[in-house]
């Protein structure tokens, strides 16, 4: 093979190699955490963006997660159709400070699921002693592979007792039972509550003041 042909072959293969290397389990998580940091710091660059906006729902999440979100989003928590959650699903609350010391740590694969752990400090701006300003929040992202790329299949937040909840379970529960917003709330269609095995509404998060 001539030098010219070798050079051409390397040129064609190099983008494929770099693309494959870029697809790690941590990449979708970093996308969300970059957004979370922007939202909690009132960064104008992320104004109007959301964890589940159209550009993210179909690219960062698994098909079953996206299906579960769409089903849950039919029952917005507020009248303005802002989405099924009345809190930030990453920080697991409505109040806090700009995120500090954000760390993303991919784990090992177990039965096709990679656990990516994220830690951060949420209360560093509070000095009145009402909360532990050095406390560390912990969030786990369950990552699977679909169509050759890593996607988020669940988001689990660690509570004060060290237990992990499941955002997927919460969405399925909302889709099945609706929101607790009074007798006039629409009733869910139970045929829409189970995500397909193979398988957007946009919401705006309540940002900290």
DSSP letter, residue 162: S
Q: Check: CB of residue 178 under 8 Å from CB of residue 188.
A: yes
Tokens representing 203 are 């919401």
Q: How confident is the model at residue 4 (pLDDT cuts 50, 70, 90)?
A: low
Left, alpha or beta for 51 (phi > 0: left; psi -120 to 50: alpha)? Answer: alpha
Say if residue 132's pLDDT is above 90.
Answer: yes
* Per-residue confidence (pLDDT) for residue 2, from 0 to 100: 54
Say if residue 201's pLDDT is above 80.
Answer: no
Segment 24-35 shows an average pLDDT of 96
Is 116 in a helix, a strand, or coil?
A: strand
Say if residue 65's pLDDT is above 80.
Answer: yes
Kindly report the number of other CB atoms within 10 A of residue 160's CB atom: 6
Q: What is the dihedral sign for C-alpha 143, 154, 172, 52?
A: negative
What's the predicted TM-score (pTM) here?
0.76
83, 98, 163 from 160: Cα distances, Å:
26, 20, 7
Tokens representing 1 are 């093979």
Q: Which of 31-35, 84-88, 171-175, 186-190 bottoms out in mean pLDDT, i.e. has the lowest?
A: 186-190
List the alpha helices (DSSP H) in 23-149.
26-40, 54-57, 63-72
* Per-residue confidence (pLDDT) for residue 192, from 0 to 100: 47
- From 71, 66, 72, 67, select the one nearest 51 (Cα to Cα): 66
Q: What is the dihedral sign for C-alpha 146, 176, 52, 101?
A: negative
For residues 135 and 123, what is the distance between their CA atoms, to the nearest angstrom? 7
Average pLDDT over the chain reads 81
Tokens representing 27 are 């990449």
Q: What is the largest CA-CA distance in the chain?
A: 77
* Per-residue confidence (pLDDT) for residue 185, from 0 to 100: 46
């Amino acid at each position: 093979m001539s030098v010219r042909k070798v050079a051409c072959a390397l040129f064609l293969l190099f983008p494929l190699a770099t693309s494959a290397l870029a697809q790690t389990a941590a990449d979708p998580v970093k996308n969300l955490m970059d957004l979370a940091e922007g939202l909690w710091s009132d960064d104008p660059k992320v104004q109007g963006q959301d964890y589940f906006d159209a550009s993210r729902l179909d690219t960062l999440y698994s098909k079953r997660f996206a299906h579960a979100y769409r089903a849950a989003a039919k029952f917005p928590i507020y009248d303005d159709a802002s989405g099924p959650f009345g809190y930030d699903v990453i920080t697991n609350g409505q109040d806090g400070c700009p995120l500090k010391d954000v760390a993303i740590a991919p784990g090992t694969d177990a039965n096709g699921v990679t656990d990516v752990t994220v830690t951060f400090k949420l209360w560093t701006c509070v000095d009145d002693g009402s909360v532990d300003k050095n406390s560390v929040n912990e969030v786990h992202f369950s990552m699977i592979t679909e169509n050759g790329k890593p996607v988020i299949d669940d988001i689990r937040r660690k509570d004060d007792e060290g237990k992990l909840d499941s955002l997927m379970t919460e969405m399925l529960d909302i889709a099945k039972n609706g929101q607790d917003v009074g007798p006039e709330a629409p009733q869910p269609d139970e045929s829409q509550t189970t995500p397909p095995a193979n398988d957007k509404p946009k919401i705006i998060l309540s940002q900290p003041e």
